A and B are shown apart, each in its own frame.
Chain A
Amino acid sequence: MPIKQTSMSEQEIQEKQFVIIGAGPAGLTAAYELAKHNLRPVVLELGDKVGGLARTENYQGFHFDMGGHRFFTKVNEVSKMWHEVLDGNFLRRPRLSRIYYNCKFFSYPLKPINTLLGLGFWESTCILLSYLKWQVFPYRQEDTFEEWVTNRFGKRLFQTFFKTYTEKVWGISCSELKAEWAAQRIKNLSLKTALISMFVKPANTIKTLIEEFDYPRLGPGMMWKAVQTEIERNNGVVQLNSDVVQINRVGNQIESIVISENGNSKRIEGTHFISSMALTDFVKRLKPEAPAEVVRAAERLKYRDFLTVCLIVNKPDLFPDNWIYVHDPTVKVGRIQNFKNWSPDMVPDVTKTSLGLEYFCTAGDELWNMSDAELIELGKREVQQIGLARYSDVESGCVFRVPKSYPIYDSDYRDSLATLKTFVNGLENFQTIGRNGLHRYNNQDHAMLTGMLAVRNLVLGERNDLWNVNADQEYHEEIRVDAELLSADVVESLEGALASVFLKLDRVAFGLSLGTLSGLGLFLATLILLFKGGDVVGPNLELLSHYFPGYGVSTAGGVIALFYGFLVGFSIGWGFAFLRNAAVFLYAAAVHRRAELYVLRKFLEYF
């Protein structure tokens, strides 16, 4: 929860001059928020258009979304801003995505029957056997992503559906990829989320959210252009093609920024600075330099890049998917977007289709260094190989490179980030935001939220922790929807009920209670018969002596019955509590596992 520290006077606020580095979702959202406070921010953007990682490129009138951005959020402020800016320009689109592997297409999210049928009898048998093997003999430690997924799906299915794609995206072997990177989110799947998802049946609205999404008519760039217009209408400045070459600081304050604009240097003064540039680049540009350990930490942060080969195909319809994950190792492409299926308006000519072939790479590697012509050629060959379009039907194409698209969570990143965080938090008039500014794998909506919170920190004196804007939330989004559509009261009472049902029964206490009652019960039963008397006292109760040696319907027998009754009652009580706890544990584990697998089945979506 944000802590509101002090509220500044209107005059104090107006005296501030805000400079924002980066016109991506985070930076533009920050500027938009400032404009709402009647402030006039200056936004500096390196590229020739706004939108950053969520920009929309244009080629021959065709619009290309760099990555495919679904507009779906749980953050109310973000949703409000989207509709404030683009109301009427959103399309509700059906969602379809599949996996291409071994010359076949598989439903995504994975469906067990479809998957097994698609793979064929022999491969399915191998997968099932492999699954059973890894259930019986799992890895004892789950340090890597490979080990973590293998323990849940078996090695064979891991190799089929996780290995190639994950390695294409991250460029390193799954055995080197720390389980922490991905599995922490699933490991942390809370019991509450899992249980509530089991108990609450999804409503139609949830189904709708999962199977459909909102999308701006002309791609996400349309949103950011509209935000730019709005900022400029409020006398803010969005300056494109501005390369920040130096960031001047005096002690713990940023004082000014030097930009290079068409070869000319220009100094921009400000009282407050917000940056969405990659932390590595930010630290590099500081003058005087940051302390040596900070510079080293910044250099240790790594990023993954990607490039999109855009192809225009002379066919009205190619395939029904919005995008296809390409797991097949025989091609280099990782994901294929069909922009016409995102929005028909992305394509100006109904007789044609535009595809975006996404290649994950690292700046400077073989793919990155290929010429545009070579990449287009590669793209044309690969769409034909996959069977999506004929080589000869591709009439033209272009290439867009997107550097630093994914912050890498390697084994060093956590320590490096901690050092950088301490340093950056020490800069009094500065906030770092966005995916690369925080080195956090935030989606568009969470990047926007960091921009909003940064403004609140600087303008209203709040102390929101931007580093903790929860990217993990996305991973449980659809499961969580169930619970979140319920009223707070219902969730609270459901939680209370779950807490009371799933607690452990204390074995000893339950044994002692049942033992005490059984002992006393037998003791009293014996005494009652003794008290009633008769020629033969309690011949039937005395049959207990078959089981309780020494027992008889007498005072001494009553004491012995007390002892035996306690022993038997204790054993039954203890055993009952043990079995009941085990059953509850197994049930909770099964529920948790089911939710875990549900998230994992949809895992690729979060790459």
Chain B
Amino acid sequence: MTDPEKKLDEIVLTRLLRLNAKVQGLVTGIVLGLVIFVATNWLIFKGPSVGKEGQPVLGPHLGLLGQYFIGYRVTFLGSIVGFVYGFALGFFVGYSLSSLYNWFVNRKERS
């Protein structure tokens, strides 16, 4: 067995995975943005439910996201705003998670 043939085996057995922060950020951002977008539109599609006092209520719990995402509401426009916020938050989380992970791994391999 030649050395180049064994190279991949050695790499796989001895090295640790590094994450691509940008890709990870992009993927997490898109997923979170889409989750909020779909969840919001799903509630709109279902229509309002009846509140405790008989009034129509549309997505009272999801609407709480508005506490953090200024301008977000359970409306179609809100779903677009939610997508933007979700994407931004997801990108930040994915990017930070990967960067932090790579930093820890680099430190571990150096020590």
Contact = CB atoms under 8 A, between A and B. Distances in A.
B104 A506 contact: yes
The main secondary structure of chain B at its interface with chain A is helix
Contacts of B96: 513, 517
Contact of A190 (B5, B68, B98, B108): B5
Contacts of A192: 5, 7-9
Contacts of A509: 16, 101, 104-105, 108
Interface in B6-45: 6-9, 11-12, 15-18
Contacts of B50: none
Contact of B17 (A504, A525, A529, A532): A504
B100 A191 contact: no
Contact of A191 (B2, B9, B17, B104): B9
Interface string B49-69: 000000000000100100110
Interface in B71-92: none
B64 A540 contact: yes
Contacts of A529: 67
Contact of B97 (A188, A506, A508, A513): A513
Contact of A506 (B2, B17, B61): B17
8 contacts: A470-B1, A503-B16, A506-B105, A509-B16, A510-B101, A513-B96, A513-B100, A514-B97
A498 B8 contact: yes
A528 B67 contact: yes
Nearest to B93: A517
A512 interface: yes
Given A516-B100, A517-B96, A532 B8 contact: no
A510 B102 CA distance: 9
Nearest to A525: B68
From B12, B15, B96, residue with most partner A Cβ within 10 Å:
B12
Nearest to B6: A190
Contacts of A190: 1, 5-6, 8-9
Contact of B16 (A195, A498, A504): A504
A498 B12 CA distance: 9
From B1, B17, B61, B104, residue with most partner A Cβ within 10 Å:
B17
A503 B9 contact: no
A209 interface: no
A502 B2 CA distance: 21
Contacts of B16: 503-506, 509
From B7, B16, B101, residue with most partner A Cβ within 10 Å:
B101
Interface residues of A, number: 33
A509 B16 CA distance: 10
A391 B96 CA distance: 81
B8 A512 contact: no
Interface string A375-395: 000000000000000000000
Contacts of B5: 190, 192-193
Contacts of A470: 1-2
A477 interface: no
Contact of A472 (B1, B9, B11): B1
A499 interface: yes
Contacts, number: 80
A505 B105 CA distance: 9
A528 to B, nearest CB: 6
B8 A195 contact: yes
A225 to B, nearest CB: 35
A200 to B, nearest CB: 14
A188 B1 contact: yes
B3 to A, nearest CB: 10
A363 interface: no
A499 B12 contact: yes
B69 to A, nearest CB: 11
A510 B18 CA distance: 11
B108 A499 contact: no
B71 to A, nearest CB: 15
B110 to A, nearest CB: 13
A588 interface: yes
B12 A588 contact: yes
B100 A500 contact: no
Given A502-B12, A506-B104, 19 more contacts: A191-B9, A192-B5, A193-B5, A470-B2, A502-B8, A503-B15, A503-B18, A504-B15, A506-B101, A508-B108, A509-B16, A512-B104, A513-B96, A513-B100, A513-B101, A513-B104, A516-B100, A529-B67, A540-B64
A499 B8 contact: yes
A517 B17 contact: no
Contacts of B18: 500, 503
Given A191-B8, A470-B2, A517-B93, A532 B67 contact: yes
Contacts of A503: 11-12, 15-18
A261 interface: no
The 8 closest A-B pairs by CB, nearest first: A509-B104, A513-B100, A503-B17, A192-B8, A513-B101, A191-B9, A188-B1, A190-B5
Nearest to A516: B100
Contacts of B98: 513
A518 to B, nearest CB: 9
Nearest to A193: B5
Contacts of A508: 104, 108
